[in-house]
């Protein structure tokens, strides 16, 4: 269509200082936020106005307005005027902006096309931008080639709930560029929510309160054809990080109602019922991200002038060019055995499902999981993606603070998940490794630490779940439909001999079905509380090698000791009682273990000697529940055996030598350590005036002799 009006602007350098109110006003002025409907009390006036509008529409002809803006260098500062700070700065180079506005047509819309050669997003948020002041960089791989990134935007005017989207965004990054992205959940998670609320306050008329309104549906179509590097710090205040490298990136999204996504939530066991109004069919932004030929590395942040790494052959730099004040280095070897396409599904919602749901799948590869990398990966999930968003009061617009509460309030008894992460495994091997003893590395080496094989997990079909709740509680869950657990140690500690029976856990051979094994390991963690470990085994065969099982438990419970630089004040502790006479605080015994093991129709093998091929073994077929905890410093064990029979066999030929020695029986055992103190402890409160009648002398832990005094 031929343009009725055309505007051409060319600028050399442009600096803009825009806060959220200014940005919202510009969008409203351009018509990108839509218009509110007018309400008239008089029906006759409505009919007259409608007739006039029809007459004007018949006389009006289609009108097209075009605009072209060329800027060599543009800088946009995202400001917080209330406390004189900035969220960040966006820099773009060689920008060509063309727009086209179609009016008085059936489908009125605004189309915009942007071409640029480079982009950089800086973080200037208070307190949280010290280590990573740069969040995203798009630059050229070669100084000779000048590739252009193309961004297309289409905005549809008017309200149409049946329309696919309100705003369509398409991005194409050519092969001659390089994309770097550093993700910190606090920076990218909190401010966009308040900006959407500010836009909502412009659209919704004053005095009108709407619940669960969704005004903007932005359709994404991102195709990054150049090499992409994604950096995941453990925390915005930590120099430890995970680096993902890919040959390309695609992002697509769609909008689905919760009623249509119930099957996806049920399939991945994602809880979405937290006590809110179930009649609301909330809207989900379902986004699919595909990373092509992905590699994963353990990384570290270093200052540019942090020292010389020429002698370090264990690390390589990701690139010093995009980051001026720091550089990212990573290990030479990827933790994955091969390159593959990683697909990640992200579902974002603010109503009755978690704030962020992430579902990823991995198939047909070997994943090298060292103890250090396990701690790092778990720390990224807890300290970065699960970081609670505590806003700074000065950065919240006054319009949002003055708005009435719309929706449900979260009480102390009604918590919800801030992050639900699901990782699906299909034909994957986890090669777990622990540090090798008595091996020294050069002082200049950042990576290359020597590890020795410890265990191998063969996951035919499994799921890892990680949930973080608003009260700080987190839950880690591993569910295996079919799996084998293998001891890969070169030799047993102490004896120095090799374990000849290395399959620790596998399905029972007597099972008729192929996927009869169902094992689940669940860890629930709360702040200042001991982790609660639950293990469920069904239709499985287990070798009871205590030293190996204890090391496996310690491996799973590994967690980072990193403490963020900026956090809430430490909660003060109080001592029970009135006043201690000595003035010294007696440290109460802390709980260190809480373990529950449930067995259902499983075989337990106790080997005579794992280093002998024809070793004898006691075989116990049982269904039982074991609870172990040391609450208050007192070890308590409860064992309830529902049914059990005992047999023996020769491990060289189990089936032919298996003999049952007992009938089926049940038993309940409860054991508790003596909680009485071994020496007198000074009491609190008022002194006792009673006359001493006897004295108790404790010998060892369990023997006590009472010397009765003379009673007159």
Distance of CA 423 to the CA centre of its chain: 11
pLDDT in tens, 169-197: 999 999 889 999 999 887 775 555 444 55
Place of tokens 């406390």: 83
Is 0.75 topped by the overall pTM?
no
Burial of 703 from C-beta contacts in 10 A (0-12 / 13-18 / 19+): exposed
Mean pLDDT of the chain: 77
More confident residue, 563 or 159: 563
In this predicted structure, the answer to whether residue 126 has a pLDDT above a threshold of 60 is yes
How far is it between the farthest Cα atoms of the chain? 121
Percentage of residues of the chain with pLDDT beyond 70: 70
How would residue 635 be classed by pLDDT, with cut points 50, 70 and 90?
confident
More confident residue, 40 or 460: 460
In this predicted structure, the answer to whether residue 166 has a pLDDT above a threshold of 60 is yes
How would residue 678 be classed by pLDDT, with cut points 50, 70 and 90?
low
Percentage of residues of the chain with pLDDT beyond 90: 29
Q: What is the mean pLDDT of residues 660-671?
A: 91
- Report how many helices (DSSP H) and strands (DSSP E) the chain contains, helices first: 9, 32
Place of tokens 């996927």: 515
How would residue 711 be classed by pLDDT, with cut points 50, 70 and 90?
very low
In this predicted structure, the answer to whether residue 237 has a pLDDT above a threshold of 70 is yes
Report the distance separating Cα 695 and Cα 672, nearest Å. Answer: 25
How would residue 579 be classed by pLDDT, with cut points 50, 70 and 90?
very low
Q: What is the mean pLDDT of residues 44-66?
A: 56
pLDDT in tens, 317-343: 886 567 888 889 999 999 999 999 999
How would residue 412 be classed by pLDDT, with cut points 50, 70 and 90?
very low
pLDDT of residue 45: 47
In this predicted structure, the answer to whether residue 623 has a pLDDT above a threshold of 90 is yes
pLDDT of residue 54: 53
pLDDT of residue 66: 86
Q: What is the mean pLDDT of residues 582-611?
A: 77
Tell me if 533 sits within 8 A of 595, measured CB to CB: yes
Quote the strand ranges of 81-176, DSSP E.
85-103, 109-116, 118-123, 134-140, 149-156, 167-173
pLDDT of residue 577: 43
In this predicted structure, the answer to whether residue 423 has a pLDDT above a threshold of 70 is yes
pLDDT of residue 207: 43
pLDDT of residue 467: 87
Alpha helices in 60-106 (DSSP H): none
pLDDT of residue 409: 43
pLDDT in tens, 243-295: 999 999 999 988 888 788 888 888 887 877 655 566 677 778 889 999 999 99
pLDDT of residue 603: 92
pLDDT of residue 582: 43
More confident residue, 216 or 384: 384
In this predicted structure, the answer to whether residue 516 has a pLDDT above a threshold of 80 is no
In this predicted structure, the answer to whether residue 414 has a pLDDT above a threshold of 70 is no
Q: What residues does each domain of the chain span?
A: 5-36+48-270+282-402, 476-563+588-672
* N- to C-terminal Cα separation, the chain: 118
């Amino acid at each position: 269509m031929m343009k009725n009006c055309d505007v051409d602007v060319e600028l050399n350098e442009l600096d803009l200082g825009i806060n959220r109110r200014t940005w919202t006003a510009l969008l409203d002025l351009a018509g990108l936020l839509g218009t509110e409907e007018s309400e008239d009390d008089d029906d006759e006036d409505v009919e007259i106005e409608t007739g006039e509008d029809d007459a004007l529409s018949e006389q009006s002809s289609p009108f097209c307005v075009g605009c072209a803006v060329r800027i060599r260098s543009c800088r946009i500062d995202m400001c917080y005027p209330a406390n004189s700070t900035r969220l960040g700065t966006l820099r773009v180079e060689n920008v060509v902006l063309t727009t086209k506005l179609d009016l008085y047509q059936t489908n009125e819309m605004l189309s915009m096309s942007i071409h640029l050669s480079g982009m950089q997003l800086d973080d200037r948020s208070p307190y949280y931008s010290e280590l990573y002041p740069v969040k995203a960089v798009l630059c050229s791989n070669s100084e000779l080639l000048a590739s252009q990134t193309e961004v297309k935007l289409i905005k549809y005017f008017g309200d149409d709930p049946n329309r696919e989207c309100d705003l369509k965004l398409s991005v194409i990054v050519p092969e001659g560029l390089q994309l770097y992205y550093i993700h910190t959940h606090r920076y990218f998670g909190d401010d966009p929510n308040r900006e959407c609320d500010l836009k909502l306050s412009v659209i919704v008329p004053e005095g009108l309160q709407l619940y669960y309104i969704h005004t903007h549906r932005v359709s994404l179509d991102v195709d990054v054809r150049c090499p992409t590097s994604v950096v995941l710090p453990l925390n915005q205040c930590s120099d430890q990080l995970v680096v993902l490298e890919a040959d390309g990136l695609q992002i697509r999204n769609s909008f689905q109602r919760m009623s249509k996504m119930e099957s996806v939530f049920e399939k991945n066991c994602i809880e979405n019922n937290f006590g809110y109004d179930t009649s609301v069919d909330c809207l989900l932004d379902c986004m699919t991200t595909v990373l092509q030929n992905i590699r994963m590395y353990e990384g570290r942040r270093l200052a540019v002038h942090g020292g010389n790494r020429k002698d370090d052959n264990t690390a390589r730099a990701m690139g010093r060019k995009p980051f001026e004040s720091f550089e990212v280095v990573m290990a030479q070897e990827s933790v994955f055995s091969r390159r593959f396409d990683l697909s990640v599904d992200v579902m974002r919602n603010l109503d009755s499902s978690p704030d962020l749901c992430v579902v990823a799948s991995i198939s047909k590869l070997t994943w090298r999981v060292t103890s250090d990398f396990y701690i790092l990966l778990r720390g990224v999930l807890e300290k970065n993606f699960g970081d609670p968003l505590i806003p700074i009061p000065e950065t919240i617009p006054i319009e949002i603070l003055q708005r009435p509460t719309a929706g449900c309030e979260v009480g102390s008894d009604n918590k919800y998940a801030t992050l639900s992460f699901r990782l699906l495994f299909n034909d994957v091997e986890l090669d777990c490794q622990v540090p090798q003893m008595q091996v020294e590395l050069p002082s200049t080496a950042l990576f290359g630490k020597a590890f020795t094989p410890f265990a191998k997990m063969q996951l035919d079909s499994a799921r890892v779940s990680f949930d973080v709740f608003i009260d700080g509680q987190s839950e880690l869950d591993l569910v295996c439909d079919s799996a084998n657990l293998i001891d890969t140690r070169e030799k047993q500690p102490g004896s120095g001999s090799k374990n000849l029976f290395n399959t620790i856990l596998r399905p029972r051979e007597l099972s008729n079905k192929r996927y009869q094994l169902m094992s689940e390991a669940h860890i629930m963690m709360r702040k200042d509380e001991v982790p609660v470990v639950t293990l469920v085994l069904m239709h499985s065969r287990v070798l009871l090698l205590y030293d190996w099982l204890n090391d496996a438990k310690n491996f799973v419970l590994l967690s980072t000791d990193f403490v963020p630089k900026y956090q809430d004040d430490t909660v003060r502790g109080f001592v029970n009682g009135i006043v201690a006479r000595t003035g010294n605080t007696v440290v109460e015994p802390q709980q260190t273990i809480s373990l529950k093991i449930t067995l259902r129709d499983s075989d337990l093998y106790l080997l005579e000697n794992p280093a002998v091929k024809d070793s004898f073994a006691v075989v116990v077929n049982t269904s039982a529940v074991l609870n172990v905890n040391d609450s208050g410093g007192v070890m308590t064990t409860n064992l309830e055996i529902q049914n059990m029979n005992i047999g023996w066999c020769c491990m060289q030929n189990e089936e032919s030598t298996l003999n049952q020695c007992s009938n089926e029986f049940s038993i309940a055992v409860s054991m508790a350590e003596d909680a009485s103190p071994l020496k007198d402890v000074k009491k609190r409160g008022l002194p006792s005036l009673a006359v001493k009648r006897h004295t108790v002398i404790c010998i060892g832990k369990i023997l006590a002799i009472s010397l009765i005094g003379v009673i007159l």
